Amino acid sequence: MTTRSRFLVTGGAGYVGSHVVAALCDAGHDVVIFDNLRTGHRESVPDGVRFVPGDLADRPLVDRVLADGPWDGVLHFAALSLVGESMQQPFLYMEANAGLGFSLIDACVRHGVKRFVFSSTAALFGQTEDALITERTPIIPGSPYGESKHMVERALVWADRIHGLRSACLRYFNAAGADPTGRIGEDHRPETHLIPLVIDAALGRRGELQLFGDDYPTPDGTCIRDYIHVTDLAQAHLAALDVIHDRSVVYNVGNGVGHSNMEVIRSVERVTGRTVPWRLAPRRPGDPARLVAGAERLRAETSWTPRFARLDDIVETAYRWRLAHPDGYRSLVAAESLLEQILSRRNRLIT
């Protein structure tokens, strides 16, 4: 995108959303973030970016925001995203992800939005024998979370066919790492992603890491995943926006290389120089043995290519973020509070 554009980003204070916002701002675009901060962080919002606190369930508020156009596109990240939780509360996920997704799409159509980028997932594919999962791999969700994302993808097909809303569904594999400049990073509460959990175990910030299952049909018995650096993932969104001026697309986004849970542990040990304490735990329901992306369509149809393809490079950025922010974004709040106290005392001394 070479011209300055204006985008609404739902869930833009969350992990992936905040990195996409940073990429859009770096490219010179205007961004408005809409987020209920259930899992996002106000501290991740860049200076100069308008932030609207709100929930997609508040339909009048969504309408007011979209009425403040024009918009060059909407990027939709706001969702529940825990596979295990979705296995326990399936209808919560259907309502929050699919139901509110439908509502947002409808609002976009009514307010004349022409482009829509959707944060989808590799959890659409469930158990598969494919060595590389392509966009042609049969969709058989292994969890209500994956099912809820698929429902939104199907809604976007009809939004295009009937209303001309062009969309890009980006099926993420495992987003990981942190902004290389250190501006933003990963801070989930509770943390559920493997790489930050392994790093925290190595740093002694939590007890033994639980390794869920060692009897999968993989070389070392642990699950294999494709880890994509979150900055590379963010750039894929910008690349997709260029494509959907004319047509809707579906892209898998990954490195095309799988790493087992044990390989992640070894990578963290190499990067940190520390031993990772871990213990074996039972399998989690809904976890496929292997999910590795075949992302050639994205590479072929856009200029996108990952910059951080090596697992150790991904781990290093995550490690640097967690060292600098031992309590996540709360560390930033504490540092700002301390600075305010210092400045206040200095001002009192001067006066």
Give the per-residue pLDDT at 127.
Answer: 75
Residues 297-347 have pLDDT tens digits of: 999 999 899 999 999 999 999 999 999 999 999 876 654 453 355 445 555
User: Which amino acid type is present at position 180?
Assistant: P
Is the pLDDT assigned to residue 138 strictly greater than 80? yes
In the block, which residue shows the tokens 């290519």? Answer: 305
Q: Are 304 and 235 in contact (CB under 8 A)?
A: yes
What pLDDT does residue 286 have?
67
Number of helices (H) and strands (E) in the chain: give both, helices first.
12, 14
Q: Are 240 and 251 in contact (CB under 8 A)?
A: yes
Which one, of 226, 225, 199, 229, lies nearest residue 212 by Cα? 225
> So what's the pLDDT on residue 155?
98
Structure tokens at 162: 């009937």
SS (H, E, C) 195-226: HHHHHHHHCCCCCCEEEECCCCCCCCCCCEEC
Q: How far apart are CA 155 and CA 230, in angstroms?
A: 26
CA distance 99 to 103: 6
Query: What's the rounded Cα separation, in Å, for the pair 344 and 187?
Result: 30
Q: Is the pLDDT confidence value at 220 over 50?
A: yes
Both tokens of 235, joined, read 């750039």
> Peptide bond preceding 60: is omega within 30 degrees of 0, i.e. cis?
no
Give the range among 146-160, 241-255, 327-341 with minimum mean pLDDT.
327-341
Q: Is the pLDDT of residue 281 over 70?
A: yes
Residue 247 has pLDDT above 80, yes or no: yes
Which of 27-41, 90-104, 325-339 has the lowest average pLDDT? 325-339
CB distance 321 to 178 below 8 Å: yes
First to last CA, the chain: 51
By the 8 A CB rule, do 104 and 64 touch? no
pLDDT for the residue numbered 350: 55
Categorize the per-residue pLDDT at 287 as very low, low, confident or very high, splitting at 50, 70 and 90. Answer: confident
Contact predicate 224/346, CB 8 Å:
no
Query: How many percent of the chain have pLDDT more than 70?
Result: 93
Would you say domain 181-225+254-293+303-350 falls under CATH 3.90.25.10?
yes
- Sequence-ordered alpha helix ranges (H) in the chain: 15-26, 59-67, 83-88, 90-93, 100-110, 144-163, 194-202, 230-243, 261-272, 296-301, 311-324, 329-350
pLDDT exceeds cutoff 70 at 204: yes
Pairing of strands 259-260, 224-225: antiparallel
Looking at residue 186, its pLDDT comes to: 95
pLDDT at 343: 44
Chain center to CA of 309: 17
The residues that are catalytic are 145
pLDDT at 130 (0 to 100): 77
- The pLDDT value recorded for residue 150 is 98
Coil, strand or helix at 257:
coil
**So what's the pLDDT on residue 339?**
37
Helix or strand holding residue 229 (H, E): strand 227-229
**Mean pLDDT value of segment 79-98:** 94
What is the average per-residue pLDDT within 115-140?
90
Q: Give the pLDDT confidence of 36-54 residue by residue, as tens digits.
A: 999 999 999 999 999 999 9
pLDDT of residue 338: 37
Question: What are the residues whose beta carbons fall under 8 Å from the beta carbon of 275, sequence distance 6 or more?
Answer: 202, 269
Sheet strand arrangement including 6-10:
50-53, 30-35, 6-10, 73-76, 115-121, 166-172, 249-253
